[in-house]
Amino acid sequence: MSKTRLTARPEIELSAAKMQRTKRLTKRERKDQSPGPKGQQQAHIHCIACGRHLDPQEFTANPPTAKQLICEHQSRFPACVDCDLLARQLIAEHDRTGKPVQQASAWH
């Protein structure tokens, strides 16, 4: 009788230890992983007139809250819809002087 009890015990202990180990690993690995490799990082888009951060979805929303303005050299400049007038002035200035667009400093 005592012999059967002895063989049953180690099995239980083993499976319990196994479970603890897998639990610990998944919890840690998820948190520590930093987002994506270099190539996956997308450049931030900011309004050239006010510097506000623009999400890519803002250009495709209905109605859109951001738009791409194109200068005479076919360069694209992102801007809020609300900043349209100011952004156009900046681009016009750039096209007139040939200098880079004087973008507002980016903020979040």
Which residues are near Zn ion by CB under 5 A?
44, 47, 49-50, 52-53, 71, 73, 75, 80, 83
**Least distance from C-beta 99 to Zn ion, angstroms?**
10
The nearer residue to Zn ion, 21 or 76, going by C-beta atoms, is 76
The nearer residue to Zn ion, 4 or 56, going by C-beta atoms, is 56
Determine the number of helices (DSSP H) and then strands (DSSP E) in the chain: 3, 4
**Least distance from C-beta 62 to Zn ion, angstroms?**
19
Residue 17 to residues 6, 7, 9, Cα–Cα distance (Å): 18, 17, 13
Strands of 1-108 (E only): list them: 45-46, 53-54, 66-70, 76-80
Residue linked to tokens 């639990």? 23
The nearer residue to Zn ion, 27 or 44, going by C-beta atoms, is 44
**Least distance from C-beta 28 to Zn ion, angstroms?**
30
